[in-house]
Amino acid sequence: MKKIVFTAQDFAFGSVGPLLYLIEEFRNTKDFELIFVGFGTSLQLARKFPFNEVYELDIEDSKNLSKLEDIISKCDAVVSCMDLASIKIAKKHNKITIYEDVLFWFWPSISEELFDVDLYIREYAFYSSVNDKLYANKIKNLLTVGPIMAVSKKLSRKKQAFISFGGAQATHVYQVGKDTNFPFVMTDILSKYVDWSDFDRVILATNEKTVEQLKERFPDTPFEFTTLAHDKFVTEMSQSEVILITPGLITAREAFYTETPVVFLPPSNDSQYIQLDGFRDLDLAKSAVSLDDFFPRLDLLHLIGEESMRLVLEQLRLLGKSEDIQRKIGLKLNDLVQSRNKWSKETVKKGKDYIDSLGGNGTEVAIAKIMEILK
């Protein structure tokens, strides 16, 4: 039995989500022992998946690298979603290295350490041309696939709405209550200005700590605050009449794939800001409210990460101080929710066409290649 170590960069749910989609196939075989190493928001979703072992370890903190090395040295392969440290250690010990990159287009640079991994899985997305020219020919075992998503069945819609703030924070980048109050400000807006009386149930999902804070701060809203396992998240999405989401790439494409009408909330971080721009460029975000509807537009693509995040968090702080802008956002969101039957058919079709244009769901292709290498 081969031991496989899975790791994910601790950046909200955007790293661990695609990783868990790839692992689904491993449930059907007893050939592998599955081990997860991670921290923060990534760990929250991993704990809801049936790994053989789960280690809570902040793998972005150098003082933990010796413990990470000890774990990896006893395994056969490492599958990493955008965590470079685990790949470096795996190469040092001559382990199989598989790297999943859902933001290939986003990075200002790509480390040379990744050029010779055994498999580099990159999802096709917008804005890829710059890094294609710089790096595609340098990465020896590059596999380009369509969006890595859950392989889900079409489900009947219920009288429910779904709100998702994603993971809402990343331990070493931005934290709720310290660097951002986005979940609190947005929940206040959604509870004050949006009429939810059409729905029997309104689910609001984000990370576990923020869920507890929201329950305490907003005891009288119609929202059911929760953190969902990834498969349950997709199920609830597929059964909802409408979903209001921060413009994270993974959740947005899952909504397009499940043909769920999407309302985009303002972005809560820099990658979401850029992604919402991308969705608008592709005419996929007519039902959206963005920060640049009220503040100067930011040109963030290929900026150094710390600076691009700082600029977005600065605008979010201004939003938190402006009741007038909050009211305008709330009224616009309410209009989109109430008028969903007018715009949803067109946007659902465009979303489905977009996923098809990327080659459809890339999960099965990626899993087949991973299994080929591991076996």
* Same-domain pairing of 236 and 130: no
Residue linked to tokens 């899993």: 367
Residue 110: its pLDDT value, please?
92
- Domain of residue 194: give its range: 160-357
CA distance 288 to 189: 15
Q: What are the DSSP E strand ranges found in 177-235?
A: 201-205, 223-226
Residue 179 predicted with pLDDT over 90: no
* Same-domain pairing of 190 and 308: yes
Residue 263: its pLDDT value, please?
97
Residue 348 in domain: yes
Strand, coil or helix: 259: coil
227-253 CB burial, b ≥16 within 10 A, e <16: bbebeebbbbbbbbbbbbbbbbbbbbb
CA distance 243 to 225: 15
Residue 322 predicted with pLDDT over 60: yes
What's the number of domains the chain is made of? 2
- Identify the residue with better confidence: 131 or 304: 131
Report phi then psi at 324, rounded to 5: -65, -45
pLDDT (average), residues 280-298 = 94
Residue 192 predicted with pLDDT over 80: yes
Element (H, E) at 148: none
pTM: 0.82
Residue 153 in domain: no
CA distance 60 to 283: 37
CATH code where residue 323 lies: 3.40.50.2000
Residue 188: its pLDDT value, please?
97
* Same-domain pairing of 95 and 139: yes
Residue 212 in domain: yes
CA distance 80 to 5: 8
Q: What is the pLDDT of residues 82-101, one digit of tens each?
A: 999 999 999 999 999 999 99
* Same-domain pairing of 61 and 129: yes
pLDDT (average), residues 249-264 = 92
Residue 154 in domain: no
